[in-house]
Amino acid sequence: MRPLTLFLSILVLAGCTSLPPMPPEDAPIAQCPVCRHDRDLACLNVVKEKSTPRLTYQGRSYFFCSEGCREKCAHTPAKFIQP
């Protein structure tokens, strides 16, 4: 009886978790230059929002999946951003 109760409790708790909301279909999308360079497809596409890390390089804005990628690009932008 105890294993069944444990299993049902885990099942109920798993059902209570939620995924983050999906962006709208027409949300503006950019590609993280660092992930593109490193061929990291897991976080390549990012939604352009006010909170999205960005860097302006040669008058153009670039968006990143994380602050870490933004910092990496800021140190050597020519390595990650091709004209």
Q: What is the residue type of 15?
A: G
User: Domain count of the chain?
Assistant: 1
- Residue 13: pLDDT band (50, 70, 90) is low
Residue 48 covered by a domain: yes
Q: Where are the alpha helices (DSSP H) in 20-62?
A: 33-38
CA distance linking residue 44 with residue 68, whole number of Å: 14
Provide the pLDDT for residue 14.
Answer: 63
pTM more than 0.85? no
Do 32 and 41 contact (CB within 8 A), yes or no?
A: no
Residue 52 counted as domain residue: yes
Query: Is there a domain that residue 37 lies in?
Result: yes
Q: Which domain holds residue 68?
A: 24-83
